[in-house]
Amino acid sequence: MRPLDFPNNIQIQTTSFCNASCGFCPYPETSRSLPMGTMDEALFRTIVDQLPGRGVVLLQPFLMNDPLMDKQIVPRLAYMKARVPEARLNITTNGALLRPAVVRELARLDLDSIHVSSNGLTPETYRATMGLDADEVLANVNHLADALRAAGSRTRLIVTALLLKQNRDEIFLARDYWRARGVEFFLNPLNDRAGNLGGGRFDAMLPFDEDVNRRQLLHYDMSGCPNLYAFLGILFNGDLVTCCMDWRRTLVLGNAREQSLADLWHGHAYASMRELSDTGRLGERELCRRCGENRFSIDQASLDDLVARSGGAEEGCDAPSASVRVARHLSAVQAQEPETFKLNLIRPGSGERVSGSGAHEGASR
Ligand code: SF4
């Protein structure tokens, strides 16, 4: 398969830091064990100056971090917008640093979309899932929604959540809460970031009872990957990684300080990864082999089966288990409002392939 002449989907990690400690994210661990830093302005501009007129469709100034941790993020967004106006510009943030001054600037910038990763409504759930203060974040996001409206901005404001054991009882309240405020809401399934979520944390966040969780864990053959032909991820120090799964930087494919992006894209390191992909041998790289494992899904048939089986077992019982309550609600939502939740449902045997979350707009930091 031929790669694009130039990657059309680019993420730039302008800083490697994040202010949250989400249970579903490898950051709390990798930030302690790997070098961290903020991209210097010269490198940032060198990178962005190579992008105009190259067919970039999606440009996102974050990768495994929170973009608002970069104190220069507003002028950097403005620079990207001015230099590469043809690309869609998006940020994904946890929302904790959406302070008034930043909100004012974001409302003026007219980005294509701002995704807020938000996994609950109550202080307890927010603390348990993200280590953040719920009141502060919800106030920030409401403030941003108001500011965008007042500015007549075309920016789409989207709240995204993961379905987790810790938030399953309020996820539908969260959907209603954001919907009532005119904010879009997407729900995504959990994955273990190609094995980078260690120490039993992944298992502890799976949303259902053990047997249901087991049946909802899907495994994909990642012997080939479209990311390698269209996506470029650049870390704060200029290192290039294959995708947002490579939290431990195990597959660095060159450095943007040393060569042009075009030369790197068509250079030996990418070519050898693509050769593995072309010949179905990507599994020879541990990261890619593990990328297809532990993809949680929310399959309609399994949900319906769970509800049916539990209905029989619980006859005469007034209080269905949390798994059953959530399964009923999810099943109903999927049947009645398939567009409301973007669950990334991929059924085993459907022939569809996981494309690697690095290529998904706003799906993951
Ligand atoms: S297979 Fe997975 S880990 Fe490997 S490059 Fe693709 S998305 Fe990244």
pLDDT under 50: residue ranges of the chain: 312-315, 344-364
Residue that has been written with the tokens 């939740």 in this structure: 341
Predicted confidence at residue 308, as pLDDT, reads: 80
Predicted confidence at residue 13, as pLDDT, reads: 98
Q: What is the pLDDT of residues 165-195, one digit of tens each?
A: 999 989 889 989 999 999 998 888 898 999 9
The residue type of 286 is: E
Q: Is the CB of 354 under 6 A from ligand 1?
A: no
Predicted confidence at residue 214, as pLDDT, reads: 85
Q: What's the 192 CA to ligand 1 centre distance in angstroms?
A: 13
The answer to whether 327 and 354 have CB atoms below 8 angstroms apart is: no
Q: Is the CB of 183 under 6 A from ligand 1?
A: no
Neighbouring residues of 30: CB distance < 8 A, sequence distance ≥ 6? 64, 196, 247, 248
Question: Relative to the CA of 225, which ligand 1 atom is closest?
Answer: 6
Residue that has been written with the tokens 């944390």 in this structure: 201
Pairing of strands 252-255, 88-93: unpaired
- Measure Cα distances from 322 to 66, 168, 177, 310, 326 in Å: 32, 8, 21, 11, 6
Q: What is the pLDDT of residues 311-324, one digit of tens each?
A: 644 445 556 777 78
Question: Relative to the CA of 358, which ligand 1 atom is closest?
Answer: 7
Question: Relative to the CA of 222, which ligand 1 atom is closest?
Answer: 1
Q: How far apart are CA 183 and CA 170, in angstroms?
A: 17
Q: What's the 73 CA to ligand 1 centre distance in angstroms?
A: 28
Q: Is the CB of 194 under 6 A from ligand 1?
A: yes
| pTM for this model (two decimals) | 0.89
